[in-house]
């Protein structure tokens, strides 16, 4: 049996503990981020791929033959089985499940039914190949088991936070009237690539109030798509940066004013910052997430900065691979959140109002909540 290196040994044992509790002999891992966390390697699901972890013995990676070399270079998993593109990927995975389950006392297979990889098609194909198997749902485990980060993970997110701060400064210095939101994104992409980020996926950038469509909850601009609109004097550029370092992402948002911001905007941003600072101060290990959410949510509504607040006020950060989603919201802050903060969690905490945005990447420490992003908490001014 292979000796599992740190930090993966602790991760494997955490997953095996959940398997034991569920009475499962093997776990089917097909969730992109969990694959990386568990094995050190992940790949997009161009073809179905998975790693099968037994309670005892070595796991097995199963993937396209074309991806074998990078997989072996990155993973500690000793056995990698491959298939040609014209072969049946599910049949290959099903064969491994059958073989590993045979030595674990029966076909009781655990999987995360919320994994994007575990589609109805995948479930039905594998169930058809393994008619005697009992499938056990480890609901949402792919995200929840990863919510507390180790020191190495926090260091990678801190590196990403430094890149984010630098990119924000570069964008603020470089934008000017006549440029478009996509030009600001190009500045950010260049900074990312020159300073150690994984790639050029910058994050959402838009001209805030043209996309927000009036007052309301003031967040209509957050995920706006690019237009050819040019920035003009008095515009507010919304910038959210999401750089990744070895797949670990930091995130934060700022508003950049083209020219001196209006006094009303300065006042709104100042109140947003104070309310969010109060939320930060409320966060420490053991505190209910809903309680910290209410500090910001209720304050924003009470002071009239928002008319409604339908969105969450934060969510966990970590690994981001090539999946259908760009955020992990299973562990997030909202009135119905049923979890408590734990030391080592890393979160993106954010708020918006009246076309302005403010957010940070923070880590929960024994003492409370510490910012990893360090840019001034104010409206930034273009050209400075």
Query: Which pLDDT belongs to residue 259?
Result: 96
Confidence band of 220 (pLDDT split at 50, 70, 90): low
CATH number of 151-381: 3.90.230.10
Tokens 């390697």 correspond to 41
Task: Give the predicted TM-score (pTM) of the model.
Answer: 0.94
Point out the least confidently predicted range of 166-175, 310-319, 321-330: 321-330
Query: Which pLDDT belongs to residue 218?
Result: 54
Confidence band of 246 (pLDDT split at 50, 70, 90): very high
End-to-end CA distance of the chain: 58
Mean pLDDT of the chain: 94
Average of per-residue pLDDT across 259-281: 98
Q: How far apart are CA 170 and CA 187, in angstroms?
A: 7
More confident residue, 327 or 62: 62
More confident residue, 224 or 56: 56
Exposure of 215 in the CB half-sphere (CA atoms within 13 A): 5
Query: Which pLDDT belongs to residue 215?
Result: 47
Where exactly does CATH 3.90.230.10 map onto the chain? 151-381
Confidence band of 209 (pLDDT split at 50, 70, 90): confident
Where exactly does CATH 3.40.350.10 map onto the chain? 8-144
Confidence band of 325 (pLDDT split at 50, 70, 90): low
Query: Which pLDDT belongs to residue 213?
Result: 52
Average of per-residue pLDDT across 364-369: 97
**Nearest 10 degrees: CA dihedral of 28, 32, 38, 42?**
120
- Whether pLDDT at 191 is above 90: yes
- Whether pLDDT at 109 is above 90: yes
- Whether pLDDT at 375 is above 90: yes
CATH number of 8-144: 3.40.350.10
Point out the least confidently predicted range of 248-257, 274-283, 317-326: 317-326
Average of per-residue pLDDT across 118-130: 96
Average of per-residue pLDDT across 277-289: 98
For the chain, percent of residues with pLDDT exceeding 70: 95
């Amino acid at each position: 049996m292979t000796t599992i290196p740190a930090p993966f040994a602790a991760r494997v044992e955490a997953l095996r503990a959940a398997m034991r509790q569920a009475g499962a002999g093997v776990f089917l891992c097909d969730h992109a981020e969990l694959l990386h966390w568990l094995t050190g390697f992940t790949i997009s699901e161009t073809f179905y791929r998975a790693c099968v972890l037994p309670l005892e013995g070595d796991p097995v990676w199963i993937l396209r033959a074309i991806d074998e070399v990078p997989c072996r270079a990155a993973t500690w998993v000793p056995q990698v089985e491959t298939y040609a593109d014209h072969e049946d990927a599910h049949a290959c995975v099903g064969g491994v499940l059958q073989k590993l389950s045979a030595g674990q006392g029966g076909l009781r297979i655990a999987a995360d039914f919320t994994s994007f990889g575990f589609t109805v098609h995948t479930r039905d194909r594998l169930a058809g190949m393994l008619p005697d198997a009992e499938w056990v749902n480890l609901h949402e485990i792919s995200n929840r088991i990863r919510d507390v980060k180790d020191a190495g993970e926090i260091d990678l997110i801190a590196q990403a936070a430094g890149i984010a701060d630098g990119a924000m400064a570069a964008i603020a210095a470089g934008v000017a009237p006549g440029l478009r939101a996509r030009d600001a994104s190009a500045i950010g992409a260049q900074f990312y690539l020159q300073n150690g980020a994984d790639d050029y996926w910058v994050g959402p950038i838009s001209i805030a109030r043209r996309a927000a469509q009036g007052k309301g909850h003031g967040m209509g601009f957050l995920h706006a798509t690019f237009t050819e609109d040019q920035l003009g004097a008095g515009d507010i550029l919304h910038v959210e940066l999401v750089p990744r370092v070895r797949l670990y992402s930091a995130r934060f948002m700022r508003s950049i004013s083209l020219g001196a911001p209006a006094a009303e905007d300065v006042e709104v941003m100042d109140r947003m910052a104070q309310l969010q600072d109060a939320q930060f101060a409320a966060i420490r290990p053991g505190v209910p997430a809903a309680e910290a959410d209410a500090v910001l949510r209720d304050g924003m509504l009470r002071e009239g900065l928002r008319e409604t607040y339908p969105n969450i006020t934060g969510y966990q950060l970590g690994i981001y691979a090539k999946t259908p989603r760009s955020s992990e919201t299973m562990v997030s802050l909202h009135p119905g959140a049923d979890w408590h903060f734990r030391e080592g969690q890393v979160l993106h905490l954010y708020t918006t109002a009246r076309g302005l945005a403010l957010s940070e990447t923070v880590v929960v420490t024994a003492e409370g909540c510490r910012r990893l992003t360090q840019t001034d908490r104010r409206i930034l001014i273009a050209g400075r």
